Amino acid sequence: MVLKEKQTKRAAQLDKLAKKKMTTIEELNNSKKENENKRFSEINSAITDFEGFEMNEKHAERERIGYRVEELRKAAGMTQGELAEKCSMSRATVNKIEAGKFSVGLDLIAKIARVLGGELDIVKKY
């Protein structure tokens, strides 16, 4: 009977140690996953920031061009509809260009420039 009690007690101790070991392993795995997730998140954030920088740069250029188109159109005394008709595009497209929400192709921006009495050129900044 004493031997049986010792075996039962020892089995309980071993079971307790096994559970503790499993908990420790799970904690290590969770910690490793958290570190991997954190690192992935950091990398993803850096990529997003870089892409955001590129998009902001492109968007700023679109806004600059759009502002200039609007400025020249108004100086020419034209409505968006009139400019659209002369450039064979919709008024909504002119509106998007002026709002910086449309990526204008080279041919279209050259056509807009001609209609507005301007020209397209590449100028070096100093």
What residue ranges do the domains of the chain occupy?
Answer: 2-115
pLDDT tier at 50 (50, 70, 90 boundaries)? low
Give the pLDDT confidence score for residue 12 in this predicted structure: 77
CATH class held by domain 2-115: mainly alpha
3 state SS of 18: helix
pLDDT tier at 49 (50, 70, 90 boundaries)? low
Tell me: pLDDT of 36 over 70.
yes
Q: Count H helices, E strands: the chain?
A: 4, 0
